[in-house]
């Protein structure tokens, strides 16, 4: 069982180009918009997460640096001068003097704990009396870090040990400052703060994030419009390609049908008649006479001529070798053979690319064949001339004429397919005809230098 794949594909293309094609095109556009939107949201989330993490980290770093610098100022100007030998000896007046500096800060909750210790980790003073005299392990490397006078701040659970005593906060800031006391010796001051400063700076930094995220969202929306235009342009290009493929398949089918009819009506019939005659002669055991030989020779020569005409009609060698004017002049043989008058006027510089001559020749061949074979034309005139920035080809005959509207309804595809092909090439094709009034077919194609994109692409292929 044979399957006409071309016809099946053509039917699918024709079906797809109707209402179903429009629905499919709309659904494809919606799917493309959804994909672009989802990818934009994914990109926004991917960008937002690192931004939040980095912003939070920067806020913490800035807050720790700010608290450390403030602690250094407090220690050097308020606490360190009060550290004297009398304080270390437990003199009540000296302790009371330092308490007067520490207590207001703790009472106002600016500071949670204050301790003063030596390099061995022994606490010499604390606002919490029971810590005095105890020894705790200092963080590794803390002493070396404090040597250049830079304070060290730590977020979270403090590592010095004194924070374990009555600091009712899950998160706090511990700052270590090395400073010279009033007695000229160096001591390590430990100040523990509530997390208020960290939280405030985090809030300030993260407060900018909504603005950044809104800006990114707006940018995404601004990109949506050109993305939709690009998707539509790609879909339109796809529609053009599908239409061109449909036209190519339809034209190919029509050419095969015409070729089959021509071979059957002319060559095959003549050769079949010759075969019957030869068979009859053979059965009669009669030698071919001169008249029969002449008839057979004429039939064979006529068949050869018909095959040559068919070959030339498909694509004349003159078109590529000699150019369009010579190929157009070759069409006159069909007209003259039927006893009609042939007129050819060339007043244009013929196109030199590969696409225009073939397209113009196809239109001329279709129109001339219709005029000579079907319209009983007595005069067929073909003219090629420049027309501004275009080339104008006209085929005029005085034949029977026809109604273009009726021809379209009857399914005559030849010139209709050529009209669509010419339109896709950036040109126009007009048919003027009426019953009994002859026919005029006019084609305009852009001249060299004003090529349409399709012509340029096909010429470079």
Q: For 232-266, give the DSSP string.
A: HHHHHHHHHHHHHHHHHHHHHHHHHHHHHHHIIII
Side-chain half-sphere of 45: how many Cα atoms within 13 Å? Answer: 5
> What CATH class is the domain 54-206?
alpha beta
Q: How far apart are CA 349 and CA 289, in angstroms?
A: 55
How far apart (Å, rounded) are the C-alpha atoms in residues 209 and 217?
A: 12
CATH label, 315-461, candidates 3.30.460.80, 3.40.50.1110, 3.30.565.10, 3.20.20.210: 3.30.565.10
SS3 sequence of 72-115: HHHHHHHHHHHCCHHHHCCCHHHHHHHHHHHHHHHHCCCCCEEE
Query: Would you say the CATH fold of 315-461 matches that of 54-206?
Result: no
The CA distance from 305 to 334, in Å, is 12
Instruction: Enumerate the β-bridge partners of residue 17.
Output: none
CA angle 396, 402, 405 (to 5 degrees): 115
Query: Using CA atoms, how far apart are residues 69 and 327, in angstroms rounded to an integer?
Result: 94
Return the SS3 of 399.
Answer: coil
CA distance 245 to 10: 9
Write down the pLDDT at residue 397: 92
3-state secondary structure of 394: strand
From residue 334, alpha-carbon distances to 96, 368, 442, 446 in Å are 128, 8, 20, 29
**Backbone angles phi and psi of 125, in degrees to 5:** -150, 145
pLDDT at 110: 79
Q: pLDDT by residue for the chain (461 residues), tens digit each?
A: 333 444 444 444 444 444 555 566 667 667 767 777 777 777 777 777 777 777 777 777 888 888 889 899 999 999 999 999 998 888 989 899 999 999 998 888 778 889 999 888 889 998 888 888 888 888 888 888 888 888 988 876 544 444 444 556 667 888 999 999 999 999 999 998 887 767 776 776 667 667 777 777 777 777 777 777 777 777 777 677 777 666 665 666 566 666 667 766 777 777 777 777 777 766 676 666 777 777 777 777 777 777 766 666 665 655 666 778 888 888 888 889 888 999 999 887 656 565 678 788 888 888 888 888 888 889 999 999 888 888 899 999 998 888 877 665 554 556 666 777 788 777 888 888 888 888 999 999 887 544 444 444 444 33
CB atoms within 10 A of CB 180: 14
The DSSP element (H or E) to which 153 belongs, if any, is strand 152-155
Domain boundaries, the chain: 54-206, 315-461
């Amino acid at each position: 069982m044979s399957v006409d794949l071309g016809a099946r594909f053509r039917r699918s293309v024709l079906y797809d180009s109707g209402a179903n094609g429009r629905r499919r095109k709309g659904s494809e556009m919606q799917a493309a918009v959804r994909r672009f939107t989802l990818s934009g949201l994914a990109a926004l989330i991917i960008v937002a997460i690192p931004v939040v993490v980095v912003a939070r980290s920067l806020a913490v770093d800035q807050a720790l640096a700010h608290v450390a610098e403030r602690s250094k100022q407090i220690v050097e100007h308020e606490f360190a001068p009060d550290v004297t030998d009398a304080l270390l000896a437990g003199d009540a007046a000296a302790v009371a003097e330092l308490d007067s500096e520490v207590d207001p800060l703790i009472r106002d909750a600016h500071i949670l704990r204050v301790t003063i210790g030596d390099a061995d980790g022994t606490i010499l003073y604390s606002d919490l009396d029971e810590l005095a005299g105890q020894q705790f392990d200092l963080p590794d490397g803390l002493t070396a870090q404090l040597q250049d006078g830079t304070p060290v701040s730590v977020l979270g659970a403090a590592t010095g040990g004194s924070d374990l005593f009555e600091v009712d906060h899950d998160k706090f800031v511990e700052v270590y400052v090395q400073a010279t006391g009033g007695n000229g010796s160096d001591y390590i001051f430990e100040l523990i703060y509530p997390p208020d400063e960290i939280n405030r700076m985090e809030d300030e930094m993260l407060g900018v994030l909504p603005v950044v995220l809104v800006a990114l969202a707006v940018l995404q929306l601004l990109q949506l419009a050109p993305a939709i235009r690009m998707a539509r342009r790609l879909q339109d290009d796809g529609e053009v390609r599908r239409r061109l493929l449909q036209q190519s398949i339809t034209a190919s089918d029509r050419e095969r049908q015409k070729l089959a009819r021509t071979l059957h009506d002319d060559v095959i019939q003549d050769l079949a008649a010759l075969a019957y005659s030869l068979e009859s002669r053979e059965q009669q055991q009669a030698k071919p006479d001169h008249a029969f030989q002449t008839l057979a020779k004429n039939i064979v020569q006529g068949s050869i001529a018909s095959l040559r005409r068919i070959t030339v009609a498909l694509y004349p060698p003159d078109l590529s070798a000699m150019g369009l004017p010579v190929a157009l002049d070759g069409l006159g043989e069909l007209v003259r053979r039927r006893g009609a008058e042939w007129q050819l006027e060339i007043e244009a510089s013929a196109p030199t690319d590969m696409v225009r001559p073939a397209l113009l020749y196809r239109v001329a061949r279709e129109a001339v064949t219709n005029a000579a074979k079907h319209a009983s034309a007595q005069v067929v005139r073909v003219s090629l001339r420049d027309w501004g920035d275009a080339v104008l080809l006209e085929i005029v005959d005085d034949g029977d004429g026809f109604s273009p509207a009726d021809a379209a309804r009857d399914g005559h595809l030849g010139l209709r397919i050529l009209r669509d092909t010419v339109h896709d090439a950036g040109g126009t094709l007009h048919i003027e005809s009426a019953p009994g009034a002859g026919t005029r077919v006019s084609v305009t194609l852009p001249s060299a230098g004003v090529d349409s994109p399709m012509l340029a692409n096909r010429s470079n292929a």
